Copies of this chain bind each other. A is one copy, B any other.
Amino acid sequence: MDKIRPYSKVLRTLKSAGLRPTKQRLVLSRLLFDGKNRHVTAEGLHSEAILSGQKISLATVYNVLNAFTSADLLKEIIVDSGCSYFDTNITEHHHIFNEDNNELTDIKIKNVELKGLPILTSCEKLQRIDVIIRVKNKSK
């Protein structure tokens, strides 16, 4: 099993985001911010928490994911109408999405070059650019 990030570090993260360190937020933080980049759904993270023996409701997982996203601890990735993904990698980057197993993989942005994008109108403010490479598994 991977090493678990100590509460102290997670505590500091929450504190600096202005979020009260409740038991549930700490549990989810430790699952999410374990050192490697993760892509989770509410459902998936909830199962994970339950499986690890914690008690937390699905509604709270949604609340926490939304709170973390508002606090810029997570980034929401839209690849699937009907299911939200949350990414612990909040730096600018792109994704490969496998439509067969619903798996998201990061693409480092420094490798990607985008040219020829249109000039926005004077009333449009750029939020972000998403590049999604959709793949399926090759049938053997």
Q: Which residues of A contact B (CB under 8 A)?
A: 76, 78-84, 96, 98-99, 107, 111-118, 120, 122-138
Please state if A125 and B112 are interface contacts (CB–CB under 8 Å).
Answer: no
- Do the beta carbons of B118 and A125 come within 8 Å of each other? no
**Chain A at the B interface: SS class:** strand
A128 to B83, CA, bound (A): 20
Closest chain B residue to A122, Cβ basis: B138
Given A81-B83, A81-B84, A114-B114, residue A133 in contact with residue B123 (CB < 8 A) = no
- Asked if A96 meets B123 with Cβ closer than 8 Å, knowing A78-B78, A130-B130, the reply is no
Identify 14 new A-B residue pairs, CB closer than 8 A, beyond the known A129-B133, A130-B130. Answer: A78-B78, A78-B81, A81-B83, A111-B116, A114-B114, A123-B137, A123-B138, A124-B136, A125-B136, A126-B135, A127-B136, A129-B131, A129-B134, A131-B132
* Chain B residues, CB < 8 A from A129: 131-134
Are B137 and A125 in contact, with the CB atoms below 8 A? yes
